[in-house]
């Protein structure tokens, strides 16, 4: 498993899916106004914790932007709603990752 941070809540995860095929997951690409670069790689899965799509979203095959349980190529995702955002638990290669994403406290 390889994890790269692109700033704010944006991460690229490369992991082995079924049959040892690499699965690329992009979490929360940055909004245009931040000035941060979006990963240029095409992803199998794009995860948006705040559910807001942007013009600079990377190419992807599957979009996850709501609570629920998902399985894509032997990678497991669980989205949990908290304060109008989603927290995602991602499980692959016997590792569990909790992505808090664009978690915002309400005033």
Q: Whose CA is closest to 60, among 50, 77, 45?
A: 45
> pLDDT tens-digit profile of 38-89?
888 889 999 998 877 766 677 889 999 999 999 999 999 999 998 778 999 9
pTM of the entire predicted model: 0.86
CA–CA gap between residue 27 and residue 86 (Å, rounded): 12
For residue 102, what are the CA distances in angstroms to 27, 31, 44, 65, 85? 10, 11, 21, 12, 7
Residue 107 has pLDDT above 60, yes or no: no
């Amino acid at each position: 498993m390889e994890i790269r941070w692109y700033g704010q809540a944006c991460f690229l995860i490369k992991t082995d899916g079924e049959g040892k095929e690499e699965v690329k997951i992009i979490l929360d690409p940055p909004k245009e106004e931040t000035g941060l670069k979006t990963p240029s790689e095409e992803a199998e899965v794009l995860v948006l914790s705040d559910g807001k799509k942007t013009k600079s979203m990377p190419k992807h095959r599957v979009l996850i932007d709501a609570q629920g349980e998902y399985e894509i190529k032997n990678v497991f995702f669980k989205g949990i709603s908290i304060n109008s955002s989603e927290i995602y638990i991602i499980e692959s290669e016997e590792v569990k990752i909790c992505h808090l994403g664009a978690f915002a406290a309400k005033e």
